[in-house]
Amino acid sequence: MKNNSGIEKYLHNAYGHLQTINRHKRLVMHYCFKAGLYRQGLLHDLSKYSPSEFLVGVKYFDGHRSPNTFEREEKGYSGAWLHHKGRNKHHFEYWIDNKPTGDRNMAGVKMPVKYVVEMFCDRIAACRVYLGDKYTDASAYEYYERSHSHYMIHPETDKLLRRLLIILRDYGEDKVFAYIRRRVLK
């Protein structure tokens, strides 16, 4: 009798990856709606369902880390991530360009505020999905602080994102989303 373990693993990974994407997308939608960004909440991360991203996610799925991390470790880059960040304006990497000084040096471009807010929502959702019961309101801030030293992000974008993460950490979701609606997206 033929061994179906490869097919079973593929189906397991496909189902698990789809559940992870859907859970993340629902959480981002929830947070975007709390901020008043209804269109962005509905359209968030649709590229994750494209073959370029989804099939990589299935191949490297483990449920605890982004499949892009595994692809990057294996290949030296993540084609799925390159596809994703080039199509989703809520990633600061989308907003990297040559400086206007003419010296061809790269720099982060200031992001429109609505995409900074979506990025904030995305970070909360990703931490909730990957940390599960270990998630706290400080999780997204702590992750940002661990990773941010190598980011090529515009200083004003960094300042706003950091402010939102600190308000979340110190005062919780209700306060940060009230602040976003009253002061950031006014």
Report the C-alpha dihedral over residues 157, 161, 167, 172, rounded to 10 degrees: 150
Which pLDDT score is estimated for 2?
Answer: 54
Angle at 25 between CA 20 and CA 7, to 5 degrees: 30
Please give the angle made by the CA atoms of 39, 55 and 77, to the nearest 5 degrees: 95
pLDDT, one tens digit per residue, over 123-145 is 999 999 999 999 999 999 999 99
Q: In terms of C-beta density within 10 A (0-12 exposed, 13-18 middle, 19 or more buried), how is residue 181 classed?
A: middle
Number of domains present in the structure of the chain: 1
pLDDT in tens, 10-64: 999 999 999 999 999 999 999 999 999 999 999 999 999 999 999 999 999 998 8
Q: What is the CA radius of gyration of the chain?
A: 18
The H-or-E segment that residue 96 falls in is: strand 96-98
Calculate the average pLDDT of the chain.
95
- Report the predicted TM-score, pTM, of the whole model to 2 decimal places: 0.94
Asked if the model's pLDDT at residue 100 lies above 90, the reply is no
Q: What is the distance between the alpha carbons of residues 161 and 151, in angstroms, rounded to a whole number?
A: 13
Specify the pLDDT at position 1. 46
The distance in angstroms from the start CA to the end CA of the chain is 65
Note the pLDDT tens digit of each residue in 56-91: 999 999 988 899 999 999 999 999 999 999 999 999
Give the pair of three-digit tokens for residue 74. Answer: 């294996």
29: containing domain: 5-184
